[in-house]
Amino acid sequence: MQQEVAASDPKAGAPGLSVREKLGRIARRLNTNSQTIARLKSDIEDFDAAYSRRIAAARSATPPQEWAEACHTHLANAKSALSRFDIASGYQSLLNAERGFVPGMTPQERCARVISLRKEVEKKLADSWRGKAAKELLTGDVESVPIEAIQEAMFHVNTRSQNAYQKIGLLKRQLIFVALILFVLLAGVSVAVLNCAIPGISGEETTLFLSAIVAGLFGGALSAAISTAKTDPKTTIPDVKRSAFITLARTVIGAAAAIPTYLLIKGGLFQVTANNHYVVLFFCFLSGFSERWFLARLDTQSSTKKESEK
C-alpha cells in the first residue's frame, strides 16, 4: 500500500511518460486549483487510512471478497488520477471506492450512513427524479435498508455533485473564451482609435473614448470586488466556484459595455442632463458596474426604435 501511495504522489517523478504526456500533465496542473489537488489528496489519504486494513483483510480472505477487490481497484484509480492532476476522474474513482466499501461496513456504520444519506438527499436532491428515487431506496428502518439500496442512493447523490462540477467546468471554458474574444476586440478598437482609423474620432475624442473604456473597466472591477466581498460563507462550494468565474469575467465585460454606452451618449440616443466629459465617464463606469442598468438602457433604445418604425 505504501508503494502505491508513493507511485501516485504528484511530486514523484514519472520517467516512463512521453513528452506529449508530460506536456499534458503540465497543462492540467496549470489549469487546476492547487487547493483542489490538496483536498483530493487529503480525501484519498483519509479513506486509505480508515479502510485500507479492512479492504486488505477482505482481499486476502478465502475466498476473497469481490467488493474488496473492486474497492481496491477504484482507490488505485483515484491515486493514479491524482498523479495526473485529473481531479474529476480522481473524485469519481474515490466516490466509487466509497460506494463499493458499503458491503464491508459494520451494521452500525451502515445505519449511520443511511441517516446521513437521508439528510443529504433531502438537501441536495429535493424533489428531482433522483431525489424521489433515493428517498424510496432509503425508506424503512435504518437497520433494514439493503446494501444495494444504500449504494444506489449514494450513486444518485454523487452523480448530482459530479454533474454540478462538470457544468462549472463548461461555464469556466465558455467564460474564458468569451473574455478572450472581448479582450481582443477591445485591443483592436483601442488601436484603431489611437491610429485615427475610425472616422469622427480624433484628438480630444480619442482620449475621451479610451478613458470611457477605462471607466467601464474600473466599474466592472469594482463590481467584481464588491460581489466577492459579499459572498455568504454559507454558500455551497459549487455556487462559489460558479460565481467566482462570472465575477472574474465582469471586468472585461464592463470595459466592453462602456463602448456602446459611449456611442449612445455621443450620438444623442441616450439623453442626459449635461453632456460633458465627466457625465460620459460616469455613465460608462455605471455600465461596467451594473449590467442591469446597461441592459435596461439597451432595452429602452430597442423599444424606441421599434416604436419609430411603426
Contacts (Cβ under 8 Å, ≥6 apart) of 258: 212, 213, 215, 216, 217, 219, 284, 285, 287, 288
Please name which of 12, 28, 9 lies closest in space to residue 20, comparing C-alpha atoms: 28
- What is the per-residue pLDDT for 248? 74
pLDDT tens-digit series, residues 106-123: 999 999 999 999 999 999
Reply yes or no on whether the pLDDT at 200 is more than 50. yes
- Per the structure block, which three cell numbers stand in for 306? 421599434
Query: What does pTM read for this prediction?
Result: 0.68
- Name the band, by pLDDT with cuts 50, 70 and 90, for residue 7: very low
- What is the per-residue pLDDT for 29? 59
pLDDT tens-digit series, residues 209-256: 888 889 998 998 888 888 777 777 766 666 666 677 777 788 888 888
CA dist., res. 219 & res. 215, Å (int): 6
Section 61-80 average pLDDT: 93
- What is the per-residue pLDDT for 11? 43
- At residue 268, the 3 state secondary structure works out as coil
Reply yes or no on whether the pLDDT at 124 is more than 80. yes
pLDDT tens-digit series, residues 131-158: 999 999 999 999 999 999 999 999 999 9
- At residue 299, the 3 state secondary structure works out as helix
CA dist., res. 95 & res. 155, Å (int): 8
- Name the band, by pLDDT with cuts 50, 70 and 90, for residue 171: confident
- What is the per-residue pLDDT for 192? 76
| Residue ranges per structural domain of the chain | 2-163, 200-303
- What is the per-residue pLDDT for 304? 58
CA dist., res. 147 & res. 149, Å (int): 5
- Please, what is the average pLDDT of the chain? 81
- What is the per-residue pLDDT for 274? 61
pLDDT tens-digit series, residues 17-32: 676 666 666 655 555 5
User: Residue 5 carries which side chain, given as an amino acid letter?
Assistant: V
More confident residue, 205 or 146: 146
- What is the per-residue pLDDT for 231? 73
- Name the band, by pLDDT with cuts 50, 70 and 90, for residue 265: confident
- Name the band, by pLDDT with cuts 50, 70 and 90, for residue 1: very low
- What is the per-residue pLDDT for 305? 53
Section 126-134 average pLDDT: 92
Section 7-16 average pLDDT: 45
Please name which of 197, 209, 123 lies closest in space to residue 160, comparing C-alpha atoms: 123
CA dist., res. 102 & res. 198, Å (int): 68
Section 31-48 average pLDDT: 82
Contacts (Cβ under 8 Å, ≥6 apart) of 301: 264, 269, 270
